[in-house]
Structure 1
Amino acid sequence: MTGSTRPTSRDVARAAGVSQATVSLVLGGKWPGRVSERTAAAVREAAGELGYRPNLAARNLRLGRTRTALLVVPALTNEYFARIYTGAARVAAEHGFGVVLYPSPEGVGPARDPFGSARAAIDGVIASSMAADALAGIGDGLPLVMLDSDPDAPGGAPTVNLAVADGIRQVARHLLALGHRRFVHLAGEVDAWTFRVRASAVAAELDRVPGAVLLHTERSALEVAAARDAVLRALARPGPRPTALLCDDDILAAGACKALRGLGLAVPGELSVSGFDDLSLATAMDPELTTVRLPAEEVGAAGMTALLALLGGVPAPGGELPVRLVPRASTGPAPR
C-alpha cells in the first residue's frame, strides 16, 4: 500500500492468499467451524500488517450486531473472576468483539439491566453459575454460555466447566497418602453446581478408604472471617479432632489457618489445611498453601469461544478443563 490509500478486504484476501468471503468470515467472527485456525490466524496477521480496519459501524447496522458480549460474575473482588475476564477479552479482541464485565449485586439476586435494554446493546452473555440469579434481570432469549454450571440441566445452555470433582479428589488422595483419616470439609455456603460437586466428591472419595471419616461438613460464606468462625465451631464439637481441613477455596483456607493460629495449633504439624483455586493468596500465606490450580484464563477464553460458535450458528465446543494439585507446606503427615 502507498500514500494514504485505505486498505480493503480485497487487499487482505490477496495478502493472506484467501478469498474475500474468507476474510469476511474471519473478521466477522463467523469462522469457527468454517475456517481453520491456521487460516484465520493468517487473515488476522495480514489485516494487522496492512492496518486494515473494517467499517464496524456500517457492518453492525447491517447485521443488527453490536459485537459486544456481557460477562456476568458474582463479584469483582475475587482474582479468579478477573482472570476469567482476561481470557474472555483476549479471545473477543481476536474476533473484533468487546466484553463488558458486570458483577451481580453482592453476588446474589437479579441484577438491574445495565443497558436499559440488553437485547439492543449486546449480542450474547457468558455467566458464572454463581451469578445465575442475575440473569433474570438482564433479559431472556439472548445467546448464553454458562461457566461452572451443571451440564446435564434440562434445557440448559452450553457450559464451560472445570474438572472440579477430579480436583477435590486429588486433594483428598494427597491427604490420605499422608496418613490422614479424620477430616472436616469446610464448604462454601453457595448454592451452585461447582460447590455441590465438591461436596459429593469429597464424601465419595473418603467412603472408599477404610478408616477414613468425614467428621463434619462445616459451611461458610466465602470470607476469611466467616471461615475462621466456621473452623472454631467445627473444632468445638465433641469427639475426636480432625487431622486435616479440606477447604473449598483458598479464602476459606486462609480463614481456617487464622483460626488454628489463634488456637495455638501448628499447621501442618497438628492440622493440615488445603485450599482450591491457587489464588495469589496461596503463596502469600505462611506456610504456603496446598491447593488446586484452576486455569481461569482458559475458562474465560473457552467461554468466549463457545459464545462465538453460538453466534456463528455452529455447536459450541464442550468438555471439561483439567485442574492440577499444587502441594505446598500447609499439608504434611498426619500427627500420631
Structure 2
Amino acid sequence: MAAEVPTALAGRATSKDVARVAGVSQATVSLVLGDKWRGRVSPRTADAVRSAARELGYRPNLAARNLRLGRTRTVLLVVPALTTEFFARVYTGAARVAAEHGFGVVLYPSPEGVGPARDPFDSARASLDGIIASSMAAGALAAVRGGGLPLVMLDSDPSDAAAHATVNPDIAGGMRRVAEHLLALGHRRITHLAADVDSWTFRVRAGALAEALGRVPGTRLRTERAALGVEDGRRAAERVLSGPGPAPTALVCDDDILAAGACKAARRLGLRVPDDVSVTGFDDLALASALEPELTTVRLPAEEVGARGMSALLAVVEGRRSDGGEVPVELVVRGSTARPSAATGP
C-alpha cells in the first residue's frame, strides 16, 4: 500500500520520494517514468508509481535523462504540402501519442507537395530520434534516411527496405468496395479520375479498381489523369464527359478534391449527379458532406493512421518490435451515386 504523501514534499519531490510513497524501489520508478516498464513491472505497480508522481508533483529531469540516453525526444513528421485536412488529422493522431510519451513532433511539409524535401536541420541525426513519412513524400530527406534513423512510413509499400515499419489504411480494400458498390448499382462504363502522382498509394488504388472491375464481363474502364486540384479534376472530367463515344455512367476519383472537380464539371455540362453520372471520392474530407449531393467516398481514419505510426516509431526507438499494421477503412454511401438511368444505359 502506498504511503501518505507528505505535504512538505509537494512540488519538490525526488525519485526517491516517489519510490517511498509508491512502496517500490527507485529502479522501478525509473522504469515506469522512463516508459520501459512493460514486461518488467506489473500494470498495478506502474499505476501506483504514476499516481505517486502526480500527487508529489514530481517532474523527472528530462534534459539530463535525454543526454544520458543520447535522445532528443523529438520526431519528424514529413508529409506533402498541407493542402487538405487529411495530413492535419494524421498530425493530430501522431502528436497525441507522442505527447503521452513525452515526445515532441516537428511537422515538415515537403515544399513542392511531393518529391524531395531539404533537411530542415543542420544535422538531423543529432536532432531527431526518428522520422514518420507519407508515401507521397517518400523522396524527402534521403540523406536522413541513409543515416540510420528509425523510419516509419505511412500509406507506403510494405516492402520498402529503408522503413523499420509501415502503417497503411486498407487502400486496396477501400477501392474494391467502391467498385463493388458501383457494379451492384448496374454501372458498366466507368472512368477512373486518377491522381497524376507517382506514389505507391495511387498505384494501389488503380490496381485494385482494375482488378475488381475486370471480374465482371462487359465492364469498360477508362483512366483519365489529373493533378490533385479541384480545377484539374474539373478539366479532366469535362474531357471525359464531353468526349466522343458513350460517356461513362460513373466517375471514380482518387480523392475528394478530384471528385469535387468532377461534380463541378457535370454541372457545367448540364448533367445531374447522380441521375446522369455517379461520382465517388476517397478520404472522406469535410468537403465530402459539403457537396450537394453529398459524396459517396471511402473514409480513411487519418488520426488513427497517425497514432499508429507514432506508436510504431516509439516501439522502434525503444528497441521493441513493431509491424505497424493495416488500418480498416469504410465505404460511406451518400447521394452522389445511384443506378444509371435508362437514358444513359449501364
- 8 A Cα contact 2:179 2:213, kept in partner: yes
Please give the per-residue CA displacement for 1:203-240, whole angstroms capped at 9, x wherever unaligned. Answer: 000011122221x1111111101111111122233221
Change (3 A) 1:35 1:299: farther
Which stretch of structure 1 is more off in the superposition, 264-273 or 233-242? 233-242
Q: Is 1:119 aligned to 2:125, yes or no?
A: yes
Change (3 A) 1:86 1:116: same
Instruction: Structure 1: state its 5+ residue gaps.
Output: none
Q: Is 1:164 aligned to 2:158, yes or no?
A: no
Q: Is 1:2 aligned to 2:39, yes or no?
A: no
User: Aligned equivalents of 1:302 and 1:233: distance in 2?
Assistant: 40
Which one of 198, 203, 209 corresponds to residue 196 of structure 1? 203
Count of matched residue positions in the alignment of Structure 1 and Structure 2: 335
Q: What secondary structure sits across from 1:119 in the alignment?
A: helix
Q: What secondary structure sits across from 1:325 in the alignment?
A: strand
Change (3 A) 1:316 1:33: farther
Structure with higher RCO (Cα < 8 A, 6+ apart): 1
User: Aligned equivalents of 1:14 and 1:319: distance in 2?
Assistant: 41
User: Aligned equivalents of 2:91 and 2:57: distance in 1?
Assistant: 27
1:145 partner letter: V
Shift of 1:47: 3.5
Which one of 296, 299, 304 corresponds to residue 302 of structure 2? 296
Q: What secondary structure sits across from 1:127 in the alignment?
A: strand
Change (3 A) 1:70 1:26: farther
Shift of 1:114: 1.2
Bigger Rg over Cα? 2
Which stretch of structure 1 is more off in the superposition, 73-82 or 9-18? 9-18
Which one of 251, 273, 280 corresponds to residue 245 of structure 1? 251
1:319 partner letter: G
1:27 partner letter: L
Computed over aligned residues only, the root mean square deviation of the Cα atoms, in angstroms, reads 2.1
Q: What secondary structure sits across from 1:105 in the alignment?
A: coil
User: Aligned equivalents of 2:61 and 2:203: distance in 1?
Assistant: 47
Q: What secondary structure sits across from 1:161 in the alignment?
A: strand
Change (3 A) 1:260 1:134: same
Change (3 A) 1:98 1:155: closer
User: Aligned equivalents of 1:39 and 1:256: distance in 2?
Assistant: 57
Which stretch of structure 1 is more off in the superposition, 157-166 or 15-24? 15-24
Shift of 1:286: 0.7
User: Aligned equivalents of 1:285 and 1:295: distance in 2?
Assistant: 20
2:185 partner letter: L
Shift of 1:294: 0.8
- The alignment-based identity, stated in percent, is 72
- 8 A Cα contact 1:188 1:219, kept in partner: yes
Q: What secondary structure sits across from 1:206 in the alignment?
A: helix
Aligned to 1:129: 135
Instruction: Structure 2: state its 5+ residue gaps.
Output: 1-5
User: Aligned equivalents of 1:69 and 1:176: distance in 2?
Assistant: 44
Shift of 1:132: 1.2
